[in-house]
């Protein structure tokens, strides 16, 4: 995972480039860390390309290639603005956020996507993923029966309230349980190379 010093070094080199493009080679977590840093330092004018060795939740969410095709796209693709999804902790989401109950118990609480109730009471897991188009995100819960289809609800924001929930963003677990979590569309878009 890149850290602050890595970003400071790269950003100093990008200051002299007319059309800056940053290529992230690695995991969804590395892409999310990079996008979070761009957002927090007000550098969303920098084009961001992603090269993942294999398909991932982020490549699925944004309809991106993986492997050698992703590398070619990163070099020759065109950047287009897409909604930036973040949470109330100021962390960008690029692939998948999963909310479960600590200890494998059913998740207790309620969640809304905009003004549509996603669940109230108990659910197994809740999932949030960004979309490349407006309104910007979609959320679902695991179906109660495995053979039932998953129902996604699209919106601008999703809010969860729970006595205790374990949150994982782009394969990075939150260090402690949360009682509330909100994912929403940031007021600015980011430039994704596709």
Asked if residue 88 and residue 102 are part of one domain, the reply reads no
Is 192 a domain residue? Answer: no
Asked if residue 161 and residue 82 are part of one domain, the reply reads no
The predicted pLDDT at position 1 comes to 72
The predicted pLDDT at position 152 comes to 96
The predicted pLDDT at position 43 comes to 95
Output phi, psi for 170, to 5 deg.
45, 50
Is 112 a domain residue? Answer: yes
The predicted pLDDT at position 180 comes to 97
DSSP class of 103: G
CB atoms within 10 A of CB 78: 10
CATH number at residue 109: 2.60.200.30
Closest residue by Cα to residue 170 from 38, 37, 33, 43 = 33
Is 12 a domain residue? Answer: yes
Asked if residue 48 and residue 13 are part of one domain, the reply reads yes
Asked if residue 103 and residue 151 are part of one domain, the reply reads yes
> Which residue range forms the structural domain that includes residue 41?
4-93
Quick one: tokens of 92? 């960008």
Is 16 a domain residue? Answer: yes
Is 153 a domain residue? Answer: yes
Asked if residue 107 and residue 70 are part of one domain, the reply reads no
Contact 10, 25 (CB under 8 A): no
Residue where one domain finishes, among candidates 93, 118, 138: 93
Asked if residue 87 and residue 11 are part of one domain, the reply reads yes
Asked if residue 89 and residue 108 are part of one domain, the reply reads no
Asked if residue 89 and residue 164 are part of one domain, the reply reads no
Residue where one domain finishes, among candidates 49, 66, 93: 93
The predicted pLDDT at position 6 comes to 80
CA distances (Å), 181 to each of 28, 64, 130, 139, 168, in order?
20, 28, 15, 13, 11
The predicted pLDDT at position 169 comes to 98
Is 190 a domain residue? Answer: no
The predicted pLDDT at position 11 comes to 84
Closest residue by Cα to residue 137 from 191, 101, 66, 86 = 86
* CA angle 57–59–61, rounded 5-degree value: 65
Q: Would you write out the chain's pLDDT as a tens digit for each of its 194 residues?
A: 777 778 888 888 888 888 899 999 999 999 999 999 999 999 999 999 999 999 999 999 999 999 999 999 999 999 999 999 999 999 999 999 999 998 888 999 999 999 999 999 999 899 999 999 999 999 999 887 777 788 999 999 999 999 999 999 999 999 999 999 999 999 999 999 99
3-state secondary structure at position 56: coil
pTM assigned to the model: 0.93
When divided into structural domains, the chain yields a total of 2
């Amino acid at each position: 995972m890149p850290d602050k010093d890595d970003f400071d070094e790269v950003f100093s080199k990008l200051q002299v480039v007319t059309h800056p493009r940053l290529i992230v080679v690695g995991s969804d977590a590395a892409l999310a860390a990079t996008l979070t840093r761009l957002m927090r330092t007000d550098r969303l004018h920098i084009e961001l390309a992603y090269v993942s060795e294999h398909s991932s939740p982020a490549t699925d969410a944004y309809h991106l290639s993986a492997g050698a095709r992703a590398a070619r796209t990163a070099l020759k693709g065109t950047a287009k603005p897409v909604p930036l999804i973040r949470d109330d902790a100021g962390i960008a989401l690029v692939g998948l956020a999963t909310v479960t109950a600590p200890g494998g118990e059913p998740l207790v609480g309620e969640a809304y996507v905009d003004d549509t109730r996603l669940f109230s009471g108990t659910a197994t897991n809740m999932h949030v993923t960004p979309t490349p188009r407006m309104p910007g995100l979609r959320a679902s819960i695991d179906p109660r029966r495995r053979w039932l289809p998953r129902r996604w609800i699209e919106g601008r924001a999703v809010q969860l309230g729970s006595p205790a929930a374990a949150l994982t963003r782009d394969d990075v677990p939150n260090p402690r349980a949360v009682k509330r979590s909100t994912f929403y569309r940031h007021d600015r878009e980011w430039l994704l190379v596709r």
